[in-house]
Amino acid sequence: MIDLLIRGATVYDGLGSSFNGDVAVRDGRISATGKISGPAKAVVEAAGLCLMLGIVDLHTHYDAQVTWDRTLSPSPALGVTTAVLGNCGFGIAPCPAPQRGTLLRNLSVVEGMDLGALESGVRWEAESFGDYLDQLRRIGPCANVAVLAQHSTIRSAVMGDEASTRVTPSSLELEKMQSMVREAMDAGAIGFASSFSPNQSGWAGKPMPSTIATDAELRSLVKPLGEKAKGIFVMATGPRGTPEYMEAIAADTGRPAFMVTVLSMYNDAEPDKAMQYYERCAAARKRGHEVYIHTSCQPLSFDFTLAEPYLLYSHDAFDRVKAAKPAQRAAIYGDTGFRSRFRENLKQPKQGILFYGDWSKIELNGLPISALARERGSDPVDYFFDLPLDQQLIAKLFQNNDAGVAPLLRHEQGVVALSDAGAHLIYFCDAGFGLHFLQHWVRETGTFTLAEGVRRLTSDPARKYRIPQRGRIETGAWADLLLFDPARIGVSALRKSPDLPGGGARMLRDPVGVHGVWVNGVEVYDGKDYVSLGRGPGQVLTDFN
């Protein structure tokens, strides 16, 4: 008997085509499509609605949250049925018990997470990467998860507190790190992740461990990908990891390489720069080396305060700020020496930073700092640092011009990703990137047809990350499904929710126009709330092409 029959929908197969008809599910897989008759345990009448594969989110940070929240909230409600963890080389395994505090403190800064929530919420049941995957299996997440082996996590496990201060590991330490990458790949890691990004600092202003690593160290740690002829490499590259640098790694390993960098995002100050990155990746592809870019379909905006000015940390002037407690920062901001040094930073900005000094991009109550400072007859730097520490601000930095962003989204060397779901919770919530894509880039602007938009969110990321039997509606594929109203699909405005462990708050968005989400044939979200389940139906994915 059929377990689930979704009847009368307009079905988008994830490959660029659609049909009107039915989809049947049995034992977690799609058993038939077309016009289907016969008994079914559950029938969903879907006339007037669209059915697609669930969204594949390649860039999440649910490594810690999943240990206390099997729903991976809010992603499944926002249409995501497969999530990749461990991005940027940050996670929680492998982690010897003495390193747990340091690891969580670093995560709280670099990924904008509530430290109290991490300390009270994380359930430590594993020290090795393989044991962590076993823990995920016991948890039973509501979405499928794949996990990257993580450079900074592995470096911390081997080098301890010196991982963020000592550039060169000993030969024995490097051998142990490489062995841990091999162990992770054997356990089922989808690949290896690292970061050279200058924007990524940890606790007390110390750099995240991988960002100080040498090229020789990184090359040593990606070797297992080539040895095992599987897995992908993904990196927050910063200016150091150019397309050519990533191509060399792809050539050495024979595996696809993925870049994550603001340098590949549209910026009005340098309108041609991002496309140059895509074209350099396209040139690499023509030479037989797969190099792709994680492309954000949403404006990169940050809600922040001067008490927690994460987006400014890559400026040298903020070294003092990062090392200080929030209550001490007002005195630093009032120092004329600090302000002078920050002005010098803006005159000669480093490549790959977030804020380049355009004060029209930072807003207070919807008005740009540049205009507010001009009205008061003040310099923008002085106006900005005279604000109260708790004053809410928003920085609209990259991907804010549709005309500039559309060509990047259409480029074949891009893959729609970069939700950062599970991270930066005090600033924003981009976990609904897929619904935003369907709302804005399909329905509102017509940049993509619905069939092509669905392909970009499903089979395209699954294919590029070598995830089999996901991202397409066809007989035998896993039944990860999203049912929605095409006239309403989208995401709500931000709202604040105090639902983290320890009473911590986070920013959330809710789905609009979603009628149901199924993972491996089991409904996890009914259009109004998560379905009450003893354990989630998500699988821990470990087999990749």
Q: Report the C-alpha dihedral over residues 41, 47, 49, 51, rounded to 10 degrees.
A: 50
pLDDT of residue 350: 83
The strand ranges marked E within 282-392 are 291-295, 300-304, 362-364, 367-368
pLDDT higher than threshold 80 for residue 352: no
pLDDT higher than threshold 90 for residue 304: no
Give the integer Cα–Cα distance in Å for 174 and 171.
5
For range 492-511, the mean pLDDT: 94
pLDDT, tens only, 162-200: 999 999 999 999 999 999 999 999 999 999 999 999 888
Altogether, the residues listed in the chain come to a count of 545
pLDDT, tens only, 241-279: 999 999 999 999 999 999 999 999 998 888 999 999 999
pLDDT higher than threshold 90 for residue 354: no
Tokens of 488: 């309403």
pLDDT of residue 349: 87
Among 68, 116, 124, smallest CA distance to 502 is for 116
pLDDT of residue 23: 98
For tokens 């300390």, the residue is 119
pLDDT of residue 259: 98
pTM of the predicted model, to two decimals? Answer: 0.92
Q: CA separation (Å) from 427 to 111, 112, 310?
A: 10, 8, 9
Give the integer Cα–Cα distance in Å for 391 and 388.
5
DSSP helix/strand/coil, 282: helix
For the ranges 102-116, 312-326, 413-427, 481-495, the one whose mean pLDDT is highest? 481-495
Ordered by where they begin, the domains of the chain are 54-299+399-467 (3.20.20.140), 303-397 (no CATH)
Position 326 confidence tier, pLDDT thresholds 50, 70, 90: confident
Give the integer Cα–Cα distance in Å for 113 and 106.
9
Give the integer Cα–Cα distance in Å for 298 and 306.
24
Among 338, 265, 344, 271, smallest CA distance to 299 is for 265
Say whether the peptide bond before residue 207 is cis (omega within 30 degrees of 0). Answer: no
pLDDT of residue 302: 77
pLDDT higher than threshold 90 for residue 14: yes
Among the residues of 312-359, which ranges form H helices?
A: 319-323, 329-333, 336-347
Give the integer Cα–Cα distance in Å for 525 and 431.
15
Position 409 confidence tier, pLDDT thresholds 50, 70, 90: very high
294, 58 Cβ separation under 8 angstroms: yes
Which of 236-245, 300-309, 446-455, 523-532 has the weakest average pLDDT?
300-309
Q: Which residues pair with 522 in a beta bridge?
A: 519
pLDDT of residue 481: 98
For range 351-380, the mean pLDDT: 91
Which of 5-9, 153-157, 203-207, 525-529 has the weakest average pLDDT?
203-207
Give the integer Cα–Cα distance in Å for 530 and 499.
15
Among 135, 70, 78, smallest CA distance to 532 is for 70
Integer Rg of the chain from CA: 23
Tokens of 257: 């390489």
Tokens of 537: 């139906």
Q: Give the CB-side neighbour count of residue 489, counting CA atoms within 13 A.
A: 31
pLDDT of residue 366: 86
Q: What share of the chain in percent tops pLDDT 90?
A: 88
More confident residue, 212 or 356: 212
pLDDT, tens only, 36-61: 998 999 999 999 999 999 999 999 99
pLDDT higher than threshold 90 for residue 397: no
pLDDT higher than threshold 90 for residue 75: yes
Containing 377, the helix (H) or strand (E) segment is none
472, 12 Cβ separation under 8 angstroms: no
Give the integer Cα–Cα distance in Å for 369 and 371.
5
Position 424 confidence tier, pLDDT thresholds 50, 70, 90: confident
More confident residue, 350 or 391: 391
pLDDT of residue 285: 98
Position 294 confidence tier, pLDDT thresholds 50, 70, 90: very high
Q: What are phi and psi of 247, to 5 degrees?
A: -65, -40
CB count within 10 Å of CB 106 equals: 27
Say whether the peptide bond before residue 74 is cis (omega within 30 degrees of 0). Answer: yes
Q: What does pLDDT average to over the chain?
A: 95
Position 446 confidence tier, pLDDT thresholds 50, 70, 90: very high
pLDDT of residue 31: 97
pLDDT of residue 213: 98
For tokens 């379905």, the residue is 531
